[in-house]
Amino acid sequence: MSRRIVIITGGGIGIGRATARAFGALGDHVVVTDILEKEGTAVAGEITQSGGSAEFRKLDVRSSMAADALIGEVEKRRGRIDVVIANAGIAHKVPLAELSDERWDYTFDIDLKGVFRIIRPALAGMRQRQSGAIVALSSIMGSTYGWNEHAHYSSAKAGVIGLVRGLAVELARSGIRVNAVAPGYIRTAQLLSKEHSLGPDGAEAAAPIIPMGRLGEPEDVADVVTFLASKAARYITGQTIVVDGGLQVGRY
């Protein structure tokens, strides 16, 4: 019973991959989920090859039915779910004049409703056990900054923070803690995309304006996520921890 059961969405790449590996290194059983089968399977394999415990389950967080089924199946096999990391997300650059209802809804369906979908079915078991930790991934573009041609993304990520606050209050007496992490400029495929974000040159140009003088790495975020899910954070709930190397306080 000392080995926690951890579910993470979007665990195949970037921050999700680093977070899955971090929980694996702690000795937890990690259920890596993603729509990217090859990448997700590889992450689970990395954990097991390093002596940890992990499995991969394909999951599209746009489907409530799929999320409900996954949670139910894991609870049946493993007996419980201790930690949920709601990490899956997208960020597509779309000018406002071209931002259709469909594109807006697509972003919210993954970045906000996807968080809600993976949390909701896990709550009954957590309430019964009077124990659980939930961490959702937001962004500094939802907590502090606006982002040019990403109004839909910033809005969804701001919604994650509101969801976390509301759930934290509602679930606190049930022994369930709910927090968020808001990463800054982290060296991921998303940040390095020229089409949808800064691109490699833009990312390197941004590094000097960060007070710590470098871009963040996925592991910088993963360590904060594992902390928030740990007993060391037992009296923390409803919070959004910014992980940005001082960018926010350095500019404002």
Residues annotated catalytic, as ranges: 153
Residues in CB range of 1: below 8 A, 6 or more apart:
none
| Residue 176, strand partner residues | 132
d(CA 207, CA 94): 24
> Cα–Cα distances in Å, from 96 out to 112, 158, 247?
20, 18, 26
Q: Which residue, 215, 218, 248, is CA-closest to 8? A: 218
Burial class (CB in 10 A: 0-12, 13-18, 19+), 55: middle
Q: How far is CA 123 from the centre of its chain?
A: 17
Strands of the sheet containing 83-86, edge to edge, are 53-58, 29-34, 5-8, 83-86, 132-137, 176-183, 240-243
Q: Which helix (H) or strand (E) holds 44?
A: helix 37-49
Tokens of 235: 């009296």
Positive or negative torsion for Cα 34, 37, 42, 44: positive
Phi, psi of 241 (to 5 degrees): -95, 120
